[in-house]
Structure 1
């Protein structure tokens, strides 16, 4: 493989690890690298390009986590053979581009776009505290931070997460059950590698988190749409359509994107199905911390008596997505199985970052930050809802929901939400259409809007006024 054109730019801008990631991804999409092709080792590529091994390793971890690469231990790393059954160029444009370079995703140095989803309140992050903790770890660790990190995660962070889950989410667990991953994709990738096989059928909430669906498809899974009702995933319909499914991926505490919580009878029904079928439930607890009325609801995992729930959480919404850290909690009987797999999927990355998160949690800053954010987000949501009601009257009906950092504004069935969202995106507004989150065509039409970075009522009014003008011209 000729590496001469791969020399990254040293100018300020895109980080070097991300440049490498993008070049490998684009080479796969263009067919220059084919499924099964072996790629250079971290050591050899770092030497060839005169880069730090940690930089190359970070790029490889992302590529493994997103399913482009498959790590085979001593046999080296190859382009995932599963890509042979997929249109890699189409996947690159629909999944990766949608996350990183869509028309309404800002550049690295730009502020968040209006209504951008998936971002916490970046202006409210405790930067001074974080910088102090990070600098302390940098000095304390010194050369030790240059070692290979533990592929299952930094032990004090695993302990802190286990303690947090016990107090906040009602989950009794040991640190050994917690696996730190390179973002949510890393957690899903570890699940797919360890307990699933290409071709396995799984239930997917419809509508549901679009990028999880695309990731699972890219990993070779057969995703079966299961509709929702007021109680969440319709388990009876899932059993009717595909009783033999091997897994179900759900957001029971705060359904993404509709916002309802799965009822207790429905949760028990889902757990009973998984136990009978020996199927896995992947619980995505992505933003349960942000509930504005009462305490956060217990996790589905807290009801799991038959060890069928694989629980995922992320720091992207509660801290910031730049950390690229998530975690996976597995049943005690599966710890060794997942530990073996973790050695071949790249691990969670820098120990310094993990150590800073651990200190942030252990020293009480995490709980304090969450309390502050619940109050702040309740206020910022009210800014947006008030502005929408004033500007749109009855055209948009904001759906009531008890938590989260986005709102769903329902439209009438005669409205084309995708056309309206496209018109808004053309004006720099990061609105998303509800219908694009559905697998099966339905009558639900709506607009999804993030509100975490709305600082005051005037900003909300200005954003919503721009949205109304864009929709009227679209």
Structure 2
């Protein structure tokens, strides 16, 4: 690139300003401001950024600050680069992959977060929460077609030939449950029976913990199928799993308290934790699940650990019995809480469902350490927005009072219908039907990947869940990486999620999350074939 062209691009970045006294780190400030500049179009796709050394000199900060900010934006998909050739703005941005057009100008809230003067003054942690929202947008909408305009820069991913661009957008391989097979006729009859002439008690505010009938139905189900030891009074109904985690952490944590989170892990749970002012401590996983030894080194006095022991999201790892006991022992010694997120435990295809961590703790007399989190969004349909907590008896009153004070009680319209759906056996029947359907679709996906993508991806069956994590074989990993592969897939009308999206820090491994639960078997095969063709075209093979 000619020197004058480089000076023009550097000049566009001179509007950056880092405040040493701001409540967020210099790295965070730089990330947020670069992201806003990219989304506003002031740095166009394919534009080359100054070197980390040059930008550090311009801003008067350490080179490590710039390198770490670049690494974060690389992992989020805003930047791309290759060793020795520079760092470039991605040709297709994350918002475009999700069908969201970036705003022409940053809105007032984001300009304030990024150091502007217009708009309301937000809390320091608001920037991190807004960032998480951007990274965790709806993953269920269809992927867009090919991006327009030529790619710029040597690191840009080649787009498939427009003449070969598909006219059909498939559901493959979006994550989420199948909703077309939900028994809405049964649900509708229950709803009409309850609300055609509702009882007076349904028209009044019940306990802030939820309707007793639903709490009792949930407790009965959990005792029978998940091995929990609980009474209905210990169940608190919420507006989803994120709300459940938010309620528990707001009532139990002080700002600045360290919390273990799985690395990689579910991005959605980080927002409620950040809203409490918690300090997130990413703890790596190994073949047995979250590494308690690593967590103890990173933050031995953490106040809580949020884990998915039955089926890790997104890797699918199961926390071993030895590791569960180790985690319980750490929580006892550190006087810490364990939040057990059991988000998709119903869908297990091999062997008996694993006992919950709460049940194991109760059997050892340590149930007072574990808070169990569940949701119906993965089992029924996402918009139901009903989740729940199962808390130790000592927490029932304060958490119920906290939910009342925050005004976050779930609507009474759905609760009695869901209670009847469970009590009358429809819930168990639906789970059994969907378990058979999802097992068949997973088998179809594994077969399709091995048939059409065997030279690019490696995949093994999973005993549970709604997706599989495919590993990248060496040529694909070296040429495109998981984020580049996801961009190519989006241009071909295929939705996949790169493993890099689930890391809190820089990604240390690569993979593609392929959902199958909501994808018919014929679309699974067509999607795998189209994905293979698009990736090979992009790789020039």
TM over 0.5: yes
Alignment partner, residue 448 of structure 1: 513
Tell me which residue corresponds to 1:233. 290
Using a 3 Å threshold, how does the CA distance of structure 1 residues 453 and 112 change in structure 2: closer, same or farther? farther
Distance 1:440 1:280 in 2: 24
Pick from 441, 456, 461 the counterpart of residue 400 of structure 1: 461
Number of residue pairs matched by the alignment: 396
For 1:433, the equivalent position in structure 2 comes to 498
Question: What SS does structure 2 have at the residue aligned with 1:445?
Answer: coil
Q: Is the 8 A contact 1:325 1:348 kept in 2?
A: no
CA deviation vs aligned residue, 1:431-469 (integer Å, no higher than 9, x gap) = 10012212343542110011012222x211111122223
Q: Does 1:221 align with 2:282?
A: no
Match of 1:329 in 2: 390
Q: 1:202 matched to which residue of 2? A: 259
Counterparts of 1:112 and 1:342, CA distance in 2: 41
Query: Shift of residue 267 of structure 1?
Result: 0.1
After TM superposition, the structure 1 = structure 2 runs for residues 42-441 of structure 1, keeping only pairs within 5 Å, are: 83-88=122-127, 91-92=129-130, 94-95=132-133, 98-100=136-138, 104=142, 113-117=171-175, 119-141=176-198, 145-304=202-361, 305-306=365-366, 307-412=368-473, 413-414=477-478, 415-441=480-506
Q: Is the 8 A contact 2:261 2:280 kept in 1?
A: yes
Spell out, residue by residue over 1:2-25, the C-alpha distance to the aligned partner (whole angstroms, 9 max, x if none): xxxxxxxxxxxxxxxxxxxxxxxx
1:107-160 deviations in Å (ceiling 9; x for gaps): xxxx9842111x211111111111111111111316764433532111100000
Q: Deviations over 1:155-181 (max 9, x none)?
A: 100000111110011111011110000
Q: 2-side partners of 1:153 and 1:207: how far apart?
A: 33
2:528 pairs with one of 464, 467, 471: 464
Mapped contact 2:142–2:170 kept (Cα < 8 A): no
Q: Secondary structure in 2 aligned to 1:202? A: strand
8 Å contact 1:252–1:262 — kept in the other structure? Answer: yes
Which structure 1 segments of 5+ residues have no match?
1-25, 33-78
Q: Deviations over 1:246-270 (max 9, x none)?
A: 1101000001111111000100000
| 1:257-296 CA-partner distances (Å, limit 9, x unpaired) | 1111100010000001101111011100000111101121
Runs of 4+ residues deviating >3 angstroms: 26-32, 90-94, 100-106, 142-150, 440-443
Specify every segment of 5 or more residues in structure 2 that has no aligned partner in the other structure, as ranges. Answer: 1-106, 114-119, 145-168
8 Å CA contact 2:132–2:270 kept in 1: the answer is no
Q: 2:446·2:461 contact (CA, 8 Å) conserved in 1?
A: no
User: Contact (CA 8 Å) 2:132, 2:267: kept in 1 or not?
Assistant: no
Residue of structure 2 in register with 1:60 after alignment:
none
Contact 1:137 1:352 in 2 (8 A): no
Q: Which moved more, 1:341-350 or 1:193-202?
A: 341-350
Equivalent residue, structure 2, for 1:41 = none
In the superposition, the TM-score normalised over structure 2's length comes to 0.69
What SS does the aligned partner of 1:170 have?
coil
Residue of structure 2 equivalent to 1:39: none
Q: Distance in 1 between matches of 2:201 and 2:390?
A: 27
Q: Secondary structure at the match of 1:223?
A: strand
Deviation at 1:104, TM superposition (A): 4.6
* Contact 1:152/1:347, CA 8 A, preserved across alignment: no
Q: Which has the larger radius of gyration?
A: 2
Aligned Cα root-mean-square deviation (Å): 2.6
The structure-2 alpha-carbon separation of the partners of 1:120 and 1:152, relative to structure 1 and needing over 3 Å to count, comes to same
